[in-house]
Amino acid sequence: MSASLNLTSAAPPARARLADFVALTKPRITLLVAVTTLVGYLAASRGAGDAALLAHTLLGTVLVAGAASALNQVVERQADREMRRTARRPLPAGRLGAGEAAIFGIVMAVAGTLYLAAAVNPLASVLAALTAASYLLLYTPLKKVTSLATVVGAVPGAIPPMIGWAAARGTLGMEAWILFAIVFFWQMPHFLAIAAIYRLDYERAGFRVLPVVDPAGASTGRQAALYGLALIPISLLPSFVGMAGAAYFYGALALGACFVALGVRLALDPSSQVRARSLFRFSLAYLPLLWIALLVS
């Protein structure tokens, strides 16, 4: 009877710890990485892919992406404590220790990288390792130094579709770089909108995102509009290199026009939280809609 009670009482903390370790991987970001990797694989294989190879690719990539997120939280645990949106994360809230989180992240990073090398190919493994390394060694420390860290951080964020392409083809062609460029330029208005929404949080934490450097917001809105404008011709390239047809072209054009319009709208009233949130919400819809158009066109 006593042993049964002990087991019952021990179960919730065990489940809670498991949930905290999962939270370290930033599941929503990891899901986005998995989806963009999937798109890269499907675009490269065009219906001739191997389901097992795809599964290996996604598993290895998710391990490395989750590891990068966990190690990022280890490094930024003090800053996370200063931000309302992150203060309840496992490390700043004290539910997990930095040491165990670091071990968790390192083990996952090594396991994911080696798994990709063994089960997929060396190029996919190198790209995944480059993603994690640039995210942790360049983007993370630069966030407290310069607002250009957002540009640097967009590089590792744009590599996952290249991992999928490399897994399917074993090489990186022009098409893989087009997918990289689409995700790179999409991230800029997406993250600028987030930074505008949570400007006070970022300021408390000491992160020099553009809305903190330029609190009036004029540069934030202007750059969001300009990056959205640059995204339009880049997003149309798949139609010119044989990756997609006319339906994709017009769909990408319409999505890009909406993106620019919302960026311009924010630029005209940069202090508006409503406009920043509208841009952010549309950015969440933009990429899935573009990927669907690409794959079905």
| Global confidence as pTM | 0.92
Amino acid symbol at 81: R
Per DSSP, the residues of 203-231 read: HHHT---HHHHSTT-HHHHHHHHHHHHHH
**Backbone φ, ψ for residue 208 (5° rounding):** -90, 55
Closest CA to 40 of 173, 187, 205: 173
pLDDT in tens, the chain (297 residues): 444 444 444 445 888 899 999 999 999 999 999 999 999 999 999 878 799 999 999 999 999 999 999 999 999 999 999 999 999 999 999 999 999 999 999 999 999 999 999 999 999 999 999 999 999 999 999 999 999 999 999 999 999 999 999 999 999 999 999 999 999 999 999 999 999 999 999 999 999 999 999 988 889 999 999 999 999 999 999 999 999 999 999 999 999 999 999 999 999 998 899 999 999 999 999 999 999 999 998
Rounded to an integer, what is the distance from CA 159 to the centroid of its chain? 10
